[in-house]
Structures are given as structure tokens and as C-alpha cells.
Amino acid sequence: MRPFSAVSLAPYATTPSVGSAGFSDVPAWVAAQAQTIAYFRGWAPVTALQLEYSLLERTPEGELLPMAEALGMGVLPWGLMPKSIRH
């Protein structure tokens, strides 16, 4: 996984057509760091977090969901049913 870099977001965050940003499959600390940097630099906020959320293994409930709620991010879950159940 490529680490988050404020420099990599700068060209997009300062463009008037970008109203918000989202992340997919990142650790909670990366999303929180990005939200904090965006806030202090006056950039568009991170508004969405797409993550794998299995009904059997509910690991996002530990850090990701509370962080998303505290920072005002929406959560878009994917992979709700494990492959073993789908087949």
C-alpha cells in the first residue's frame, strides 16, 4: 500500500471543482491524518471511506467506524458476505 502524502493530494485539494475526497481500504490513522491536514490547510474535507466490512469478521467496528463517525465521514461498505457464504 502506498502511504498517504499531503503532497500527492495538493493539486486536487486546491482545485475549485473538487468538493470532497474519499478513501478506500486505508487504516484509520491514514484517514484521520488526511482529514486533519485537509482541515488545517483549508482543503476539501474527506467525506467518504470505502472499506471491506464482512458480516462474519467485523474488524472495522474497532477503529474505522468510530473514527468515521467522529470526523463526519460516510462509510461505504463492500464485501458484506464472505465468498464461502455466496457460493
User: Burial of 73 by CB count in 10 Å (0-12 exposed, 13-18 middle, 19+ buried)?
Assistant: buried
* Mode of pairing for the β-strands spanning 74-78 and 46-52: parallel
Instruction: Report if residue 37 sits inside a domain.
Output: yes
Instruction: Report if residue 63 sits inside a domain.
Output: yes
Statement: residue 84 has pLDDT above 80: no
| Extended beta strands in 1-87, E state | 21-24, 46-52, 74-78
Q: Return the bridge partners of 52, or none.
A: 78
Instruction: Report if residue 5 sits inside a domain.
Output: no
Domain count, the chain: 1
Write out pLDDT tens, residues 18-64: 667 788 888 888 888 888 988 898 888 888 988 888 777 777 777 88
C-alpha 21/C-alpha 41 separation (Å) is 14
Residue 59: domain span = 21-86
In terms of pTM, does the model score above 0.85? Answer: no
Statement: residue 87 has pLDDT above 80: no
What backbone phi and psi angles, to 5 degrees, belong to 56? -90, -40
pLDDT at 12: 61
| Confidence at 1, pLDDT banded by 50, 70, 90 | very low
